[in-house]
Amino acid sequence: MTGHETSEPDLGVLAARVLFSVQRELFTALAEQGFDDIQPRAGAVLAYLRADGIRASELARASGQHKQVIGSLIDDLERLGYVERRPDPADRRAKLICPTERGLLQMEAATSIMRAIEERHANALGKREYAAFKTALHHVADLQRQAD
């Protein structure tokens, strides 16, 4: 990843800027809406939660984090009242991580904040251009995943 002097910043540098900046804005806005007890790192769980529950190991796979990290994030979020562990009826080894009512509210708030952020970009670039950008970003993300 190279953002050296003369040349344009590369794909990695730009992705990093976008990620960290979006993350900062999102969690600042969440805090202002009362969700002030969660941090960006909890995003590995929160971003992939589903109303009907998801397994911890699925969260680990989706987020690319180790099982232990996910486990301790779930510990925290459970203590804070965002999620609860329920036995998975389909597999007695597994537990379903389900959002509580507060967790559902957080998910809705996050979705709405992200929608506003993306709308801002769509207005700045043009809706058509932003849609094309988003599609391309999706493709790049998919292609990259295959490559490494």
Q: Name the minimum Å distance from CB 87 to DNA.
A: 9
- Binds its own copies by CB under 8 A, chosen from 7, 68, 89, 128: 7
Residues 21-80 close enough to bind its own copies by CB under 8 A: 21-26, 28, 43, 46-51, 62, 64
Cα 53 to Cα 139: distance, rounded to the nearest angstrom = 28
Cα 63 to Cα 54: distance, rounded to the nearest angstrom = 13
Would residue 126 be called left, alpha or beta, if left means φ above 0 and alpha means ψ between -120 and 50 degrees?
A: left
Q: Kindly state the greatest CA–CA separation across the chain.
A: 58
Which does residue 24 bind out of DNA, its own copies, none, counting CB within 5 to 8 angstroms by kind? its own copies
CB closer to DNA, 90 vs 124: 90
The one-letter amino acid code at 71 reads G
Cα 1 to Cα 4: distance, rounded to the nearest angstrom = 9
Please give the residue ranges that form the binding site for its own copies (CB under 8 A).
1-5, 7-26, 28, 43, 46-51, 62, 64, 107, 110-111, 114, 117-118, 120-121, 124-125, 129-130, 132-134, 136-141, 143-145, 147-148
